Amino acid sequence: MRILKLQKKDFFPFLEVISKKAELWAPVAKQGGPPAETLPDPHWASLAKREKFSFERIQDFSKIAMNTTRTIIPPKKIMVPASFNMFHFDEKEYREDLSHVTNRILFGVHPCDIHGLLILDKLFSQAYSDPYYLEARKKTIILGLSCWPDEFCFCKSTHTDIIEEGYDLFFTNLESHFLVWIGSSRGDDLIRLAPDYFDERLTEKDIKTYINWQEERDNAFQTEINFTRLPDLMELKYKAPFWEEAGAACLACGSCSMVCPTCNCYNVVDKQFLGNRPGQRLRYWDSCTLTEYSEVAGGENFRGHKSQRLRLWYTHKLRAYVSKYGKPSCVGCGRCLVTCPVQIHAKSVADALEGHPVDAFWKKFAEEVSK
């Protein structure tokens, strides 16, 4: 694998060249959300004060947020939009609709999110091929970007803090320059569009700078989860009372699934129109934490209780995927930690499974209710 050096002054000129080839998408700062002073809970007030980020189409390079934490929604939204039309149909035929899939360059994807895409690659290509996902994946060039952990990141625990595949180029953001890893022939083609910006000669000082950066980043992680015990603990604690406690507090809002880079469930709905207009089959994101998810004809629900649905969500993440692929389908991005309104997330559930004290709203809620 080749590693090149790109001076920061040459970064925008390089983007200028490559963005002529495809739509450029990257993280930008996002406004919105409730004002911090209206939130009574210090956890939510402190989160409300932080900048949020979102992958958006870029027209002005200066809008690109280079030092971001996680985006609100992971890059799965580029591969599979939250809702889209799969095909039009009438009484004679159906016509596939791939109009939402365009050639894109997605810059700023962090290692954990590239691991998330690698997990989706397996899920959408092995048992059944998903043409919509695979077409979008084929047409999206991934430009990874290094990141710095905040207190909610735990990708070091899931071994997803570094990445060796799944990208076309990967930019490590150092003081005055980037080190750029070429991960594919498509990445190499991009470099060939502007070879003069890149330098193949790395000095001892460049290498030392990179090693120091790696060591400092490695030491910056504040949250740790021991994933090796969790598959067994999911089995051993299948009937533990904390599932009921978490279920009682859960709002069944589905936000945990929307933000998780590896959640991939979806539903399809047919939309028909009066007259001779063709119908549409719409596909949209779904979540096993939602009430209707396990509902069947006749109104029966296999997982009518929120605790059952939460347990299913965590069984998939922490046990089932490990049985099949040898690792959890959690990539340690921290999105569920900053999103769940009642703090049911990978860390608080792991603490409950381990029998550690749980510092989360849902636990306090259970203690209040039992008084």
Positions touching ligand SF4 (CB under 6 A) are: 250-256, 259-262, 289, 310, 317, 330-336, 340-342, 344-346
Minimal distance, residue 158 CB to ligand SF4, in Å: 7
Minimal distance, residue 173 CB to ligand SF4, in Å: 22
Minimum CB distance to ligand SF4 smaller for 61 or for 365: 365
Minimal distance, residue 75 CB to ligand SF4, in Å: 12
Q: Residue 15: name the closest of 285, 23, 264 by CA.
A: 23
User: Which residue, chain included where needed, has tokens 């929307």?
Assistant: 258
Minimum CB distance to ligand SF4 smaller for 22 or for 39: 39
Minimum CB distance to ligand SF4 smaller for 108 or for 332: 332
Query: Of all helices (H) and strands (E), which one includes residue 117?
Result: helix 111-123
If phi > 0 it is left, if psi is from -120 to 50 it is alpha, else beta; for residue 298 that is left
Minimal distance, residue 285 CB to ligand SF4, in Å: 13
Minimal distance, residue 222 CB to ligand SF4, in Å: 14
If phi > 0 it is left, if psi is from -120 to 50 it is alpha, else beta; for residue 30 that is beta
Minimal distance, residue 203 CB to ligand SF4, in Å: 37
Minimum CB distance to ligand SF4 smaller for 184 or for 308: 308
And the tokens for 204?
């001892």
**What angle (nearest 5°) sits at the alpha carbon of residue 69, between those of residues 64 and 70?**
95
Radius of gyration of the chain measured on its C-alpha atoms: 22
And the tokens for 162?
């570094």
Minimum CB distance to ligand SF4 smaller for 182 or for 333: 333
Minimum CB distance to ligand SF4 smaller for 89 or for 365: 365
User: Which residue, chain included where needed, has tokens 């049911």?
Assistant: 344
Sort strands 94-96 and 140-145 into parallel, antiparallel or unpaired: unpaired
